[in-house]
Amino acid sequence: MSFRIIGTGMYVPPKAVTNDDLAQIVDTNDEWISKRVGVKERRVSETEFTSEMGAKAAQAALDDAGVKAQDLDMILAASVSGETVSPSMACMVQHRLGATCPAMELNAACAAFLYLLETAAAFFALHKDYKRILVVGCERMSGILDWTDRSTCVIFGDGSGAAVLERGEGYLDSVITVKGGDDVIKIPHFLGCSPFFKTEQDTPYIHMKGQETFKYAVTAIAQDITTLLERNHLTIDDIAWIVPHQANKRIIDFACHKLGISTEKMFVNIEKYGNTSSASVPMALHELKESGKLQRGDKVILCAFGGGLSNAACLIEY
Amino acid sequence: MVQEKIIAMLAEATDTDASEITADTKFADLGIDSLDMTEMAMDLEDEFGITLEMTPELNTVGKLAEAVEKLTAEG
């Protein structure tokens, strides 16, 4: 017994920042960003905190599902860019929604939405009376970017995506993997101002080695999808859609090359939003559903990868 | 054989005539970026069953081919 997805929602702040806008801030241009990353514009919050965006996506998912906040049994949230460490974004979303259920946050960086689904499946198994769980990835990535670093600030964007899960049989299989360490991707915290702590602090922004990240991500996608297909005796033709983490269009395209599959199997919307970390998979899933291209009963693979290094994929029947 | 493979990959990736690419051709001169290099390295890894670490020193077709041949020979 696991769950099925009965509603999805997303929210992005209204301000769009184009590649030409970024060229005014750092030494870059539209052609370079489009070719290297596949992003044309991204949304950036001017006033809204992370949990505000999370609550708006969550409310949209609740409305889509026809579920009231008071009817939720659990809220699970993920973020690497919350406005507070405590309360967690889950607690803030719970408060903003007017829900009364337990709420908790987890961190698996850009792979976190898959870890939220896995955790939700575990809660459904543990608590037989749980009927509905809300999962939400919410990010204000613009707050953790070094806006003088053209190799990272052009990639990311702000946004939030959510899904309402109801007890059911739609979560068919999953694979989660962590290869620990901070040498490829890291987002250091502000470590405080203790007069006793002598270690030099890294800037509290995203630090990422591009080539290593690319290689890790492509390998993770290809291995996780292959594992799910083999373990479930499926071929790629049995899968209606793959919804990958929208990290970089070239990662997605090269993963298709490695898997020997058409890029048309992958749902991609990175050109509009950039990499929104934990929000990217639910945002893409929502847009896929809204496009009318996703049908009930379709088999879909969701996959994601990011800092940790954490990667995960799951097979669902929508 | 390795060098021919690399030249064929580069010719396809850059839409260049293979006859114009030699052992001394620098990757930078072909206008390929670091992600192109990573993609080529990953294809070479699969093709020859090796683990290849791309370093700045491997900046020409000939040097890369030599590194791949050495790794392949080491098995």
User: Looking at residue B54, what is its pLDDT?
Assistant: 80
Q: Tell me which of A110, A138, A256, A314 is the catalytic residue.
A: A110
* Chain A residue with the nearest C-alpha to that of B41: A215
Q: Answer yes or no: do A254 and B34 touch at CB < 8 A.
A: no
Q: What is the arithmetic mean of pLDDT over A13-42?
A: 95
Which of the residues B32, B33, B35, B37 would you substitute to probe the A interface, choosing the one with the greatest number of A C-beta atoms within 10 Å? B35
User: Looking at residue A1, what is its pLDDT?
Assistant: 60
User: Looking at residue B52, what is its pLDDT?
Assistant: 87
Q: What is the arithmetic mean of pLDDT over A175-192?
A: 92
Q: Which residue has the higher pLDDT, A297 or A191?
A: A297
Residue A275 among the catalytic residues: yes
Q: What is the arithmetic mean of pLDDT over A254-280?
A: 96
| Predicted confidence (pLDDT) at residue B15 exceeds the cutoff of 90 | no
Chain B residues near residue A35 by CB distance under 8 angstroms: 33
Question: What's the token pair of residue B43?
Answer: 């294809």
- Which one-letter DSSP state was computed for residue A83? S
Q: What's the CATH code, domain B2-74?
A: 1.10.1200.10
User: Looking at residue A274, what is its pLDDT?
Assistant: 97
| Predicted confidence (pLDDT) at residue A128 exceeds the cutoff of 80 | yes
pLDDT digits (tens, 9 = 90+) for A285-295: 999 999 999 99
Cβ-count burial A115-131 (b if 16+ within 10 Å, e if not): bbbbbbbebbeeeeebe
User: Looking at residue A39, what is its pLDDT?
Assistant: 96
CATH for A2-169 (3.40.50.10860, 3.40.47.10, 3.10.129.10, 2.40.50.430): 3.40.47.10
| Predicted confidence (pLDDT) at residue B75 exceeds the cutoff of 80 | no
User: Looking at residue B58, what is its pLDDT?
Assistant: 86
Q: What is the arithmetic mean of pLDDT over A215-241?
A: 97
User: Looking at residue B55, what is its pLDDT?
Assistant: 82
Q: What is the arithmetic mean of pLDDT over B43-55?
A: 88
pTM: 0.93
Given B35, B37, B41, which is nearest A250 (Cβ)? B35
Shortest Cα–Cα distance, B21 to chain A (Å): 23
* Burial label, A101 (beta-carbon count in 10 A; 0-12, 13-18, 19+): middle
* Chain B residue with the nearest C-alpha to that of A37: B35
Q: Is the ipTM of this complex over 0.85?
A: no
| Predicted confidence (pLDDT) at residue A57 exceeds the cutoff of 80 | yes
What are the φ and ψ backbone dihedral angles of A140, each rounded to 5 degrees?
-115, 75
Given B35, B37, B41, which is nearest A36 (Cβ)? B35
Q: What is the arithmetic mean of pLDDT over A38-46?
A: 97
Minimal CA–CA distance to A134: which of A101, A171, A170, A86? A101
| Ranges A96-110, A193-207, A273-287, A293-307: which has the least confidence | A193-207
Binning pLDDT at 50, 70 and 90, where does residue A201 land?
Answer: confident
| Predicted confidence (pLDDT) at residue A303 exceeds the cutoff of 90 | yes
Place of tokens 């081919």: B65
Please list the alpha-helical segments (H only) found in chain A.
Answer: 19-23, 30-36, 50-65, 89-97, 112-126, 210-231, 249-259, 270-273, 280-290
Please list the alpha-helical segments (H only) found in chain B.
Answer: 2-14, 34-48, 61-74
Residue A95 among the catalytic residues: no
Mean pLDDT of chain A: 96
User: Looking at residue A61, what is its pLDDT?
Assistant: 98
Residue A110 among the catalytic residues: yes
| Predicted confidence (pLDDT) at residue A210 exceeds the cutoff of 90 | no
Q: Answer yes or no: do A210 and B34 touch at CB < 8 A.
A: yes
Binding-face residues of A in 187-246 toward B, CB within 8 A? 210-211, 214-215, 218-219
* CATH topology agreement for domains A2-169 and A174-317: yes
Q: What is the arithmetic mean of pLDDT over A36-53?
A: 97
Shortest Cα–Cα distance, A36 to chain B (Å): 8
Show Cβ contacts of residue A261 under 8 Å, excluding neighbours closer than 6 positions: A236
- CA A114 to chain centroid, in Å, comes to 8
Chain B residues near residue A151 by CB distance under 8 angstroms: none
User: Looking at residue A132, what is its pLDDT?
Assistant: 98
Given A214, A257, A258, which is nearest B38 (Cβ)? A214
Binning pLDDT at 50, 70 and 90, where does residue A191 land?
Answer: confident
User: Residue ranges per domain, chain A?
Assistant: 2-169, 174-317
| Predicted confidence (pLDDT) at residue B12 exceeds the cutoff of 90 | no
Q: Tell me which of A153, A245, A248, A303 is the catalytic residue.
A: A245
Q: Tell me which of A91, A275, A286, A314 is the catalytic residue.
A: A275
Query: Over pLDDT 90: what percentage of chain B?
Result: 17
Q: What's the CATH code, domain A174-317?
A: 3.40.47.10
Binding-face residues of A in 27-46 toward B, CB within 8 A? 35-36
